Amino acid sequence: MTITQDPERRASSAPATTRQRRATRIAEAAGGGWGLVLLKIVLLGLILALAVFAALVLIRTDQWVVAAIVIAVALLAVWVYLGRGRLPAKYLMPGLVFLFVFQIFAALYTGYVAFTNYGTGHNADKDSAVNALMLSAQERVPDSPSYDLTIVDQLGELSFLVTDPDGDVLLGGEERPLDEVSGAEMDGGKAVGLAGYTTLTFGDIVAQQERIAEMSVPLSDDPNDGMLRTPDGSSAYVYTSKLVYDEAAGTMTDTSSGVVYSDIGTGAFTAEDGTELRPGWQINVGFDNFTRAFAEQSIRGPFLQVLVWTFAFAILSVLTTFALGLFLAIVFNDPRMKSKKYYRVLMILPYAFPGFLSALVWAGMMNQEFGFLNVVVFGGADIPWLTNEWLAKASIILVNLWLGFPYMFLICTGALQSIPEDVQEAARVDGASAWQVFRAIKLPLLLVAVAPLLISSFAFNFNNFSLIYMLTGGGPRDITAGVNVGATDILITMVYKVAFVGSTSDYGLASAFSIIIFILVATISVIAFRRTKALEDLN
């Protein structure tokens, strides 16, 4: 077994001495024995197996690009972990893969969707739209009889053998209008077979169902009489089509009104007066969604008010939770405090409950008439916690304080314990008061560690959709304003209301808004991170 040498080792021009070789051997032995190698092989094998399995599934659904990426990443993993050296890659690989899958890919996809008209009514490609339109356009002729149907086959050519309500037996096929036949094999008034033709069983029908579902047999030479089609293979009905699709010209024509709908690049068949047939299909719309985001009346009106509240909410949430968390951390850091352990467990509890649930529970507790707060805490007061504009804002901050202080308490506890005692001792010897020690020594040192977390907390709260949605739903609303935006709506909840009105969804617009919000938050975070660099000079 040869030993491949470290690149660095090879780079050094000096030949390896016996001692160095022995050192390498010892180092190798220290790096875990065969058990570890075996574990590595099993794990890598599993990863490869998973990748092959995923690739097979993807190839079956014609996702070639994704399949290639999966295989490439798996091979890269094998290459990284099998070789020696490449230590940084070994540590970074899992993180990078997850970063790509969960962050970068999602961001890129959002970016892509922002430039399309993807949403209700523009859900798939043109072929699907044509298919769906043609399906819906098939209308059964009112009061037309239903025909008993037997599907028969002659040398691979399928025909409909139908018995009309009068008992006449007819035969027809694709492009071959129905014609009366005689000598059919009858079973209880229904023709079930014909000499020279094979009758299909239900199993045969299911096996060829795509073809049979597409079949339409003209009733007579005049196409306006309608076509026989079958939904189930055992009965046939007379249909006429509301729409005619001309593939060459790419137009849909309404047979009753004669209106021609054509593809004019709007992602749907459009008539001259601008009416569109639904469904349409997905197209690229360039920067349309972004211009709409700024031109949308229901956004523009309340935009400034919502933006101000979003900042106020995010900043106040960070400040209040940090203040309370820090205060409690300092209190519990005091050596004179008894049974700290139990208190700390209690403190973590709000953090352990899912925020969704807590917000709903709080919404119940803040009910104006029957809520716990008014009935028990305030002795039957009638305080409109969630239905008055300013109180609702205060309630949101309050609930977020309850949800968020344990996190701040945790990180402050950690940061406080890492501040060396001797600095504080020295300050006290110099005669500084407790407050001075806190202001001039503890807080700056603490901020070095905590500032980045405060920024991330700000970014999180800036988009804290679930709290707002669950607690107030953005309300209370000013009903005279005529827009669907309430006093506690933050940017993200307002966007949600605009892009997903009622039951329609506009993913394109929503993605464009996401990008705009991302730019806002990213800018603020970058500036803030730059500022916190100044803190680090303290050390």
Footprint of other proteins on residues 465-484 (CB under 8 A)?
A: 472-473, 475-477, 479-480, 482, 484
Residue 497 burial (C-beta neighbours within 10 Å; 0-12, 13-18, 19+): buried
Q: What are phi and psi of 500, to 5 degrees?
A: -125, 55
Q: Does 138 bind other proteins (CB under 8 A)?
A: yes
- Which is closer to other proteins, CB of 362 or CB of 462? 362
Q: What are phi and psi of 236, to 5 degrees?
A: -125, 150
- Which is closer to other proteins, CB of 228 or CB of 427? 228
Q: How far is the CB of 484 from other proteins (least distance, A)?
A: 5
Name the one range near other proteins by CB under 8 A: 74-82, 181-189, 406-414, 429-437.
74-82
Applying CB under 8 A, which of residues 110, 131, 253, 305 lies at the interface with other proteins? 131
479-508 residues near other proteins, rule: CB under 8 A: 479-480, 482, 484, 486, 497, 501-505
Query: Rounded to an integer, what distance in angstroms lies between the CA atom of residue 473 and that of residue 453?
Result: 28
Q: How far is the CB of 175 from other proteins (least distance, A)?
A: 21
Q: What share of the chain is helix, strand, coil (3-state, %, to 5)?
A: 55, 15, 30
**Which amino acid does the sequence have at 450?**
V
Nearest Cα residue to 236 out of 156, 140, 168, 155: 140
- Which is closer to other proteins, CB of 144 or CB of 333? 144
Q: How far is the CB of 365 from other proteins (least distance, A)?
A: 12
> Bridge-partner residues for 236, per DSSP?
147
Q: Which two tokens stand for residue 85?
A: 């050296």
Applying CB under 8 A, which of residues 64, 79, 105, 343 lies at the interface with other proteins? 79
Helix intervals (H) in 144-265? 202-207, 209-214
**CA dihedral for 467, 471, 473, 478, sign (positive or negative):** negative
Name the one range near other proteins by CB under 8 A: 64-72, 107-115, 137-145, 522-530.
137-145
333-392 residues near other proteins, rule: CB under 8 A: 364, 367-370, 386-387
- The count of residues interacting with other proteins (CB under 8 A) is 75
Query: Rounded to an integer, what distance in angstroms lies between the CA atom of residue 366 and that of residue 74?
Result: 52
Q: Which residues contact 298 (CB under 8 A, 6 or more apart)?
A: 483, 484, 485, 498
191-250 residues near other proteins, rule: CB under 8 A: 202-203, 205-207, 209-210, 212-213, 230-233, 235, 237
Count the residues in the chain.
539
Q: Does 48 bind other proteins (CB under 8 A)?
A: yes
Helix intervals (H) in 334-430? 340-352, 355-365, 372, 389-417, 421-429
Name the one range near other proteins by CB under 8 A: 126-134, 218-226, 287-295, 513-521.
126-134
284-343 residues near other proteins, rule: CB under 8 A: none
Interaction mask 83-102, other proteins, x per CB under 8 A? x-------------------
Name the one range near other proteins by CB under 8 A: 65-73, 117-125, 330-338, 399-407.
117-125
Query: Rounded to an integer, what distance in angstroms lies between the CA atom of residue 371 and that of residue 317?
Result: 24
> Bridge-partner residues for 26, per DSSP?
none
Name the one range near other proteins by CB under 8 A: 11-19, 34-42, 99-107, 333-341.
34-42
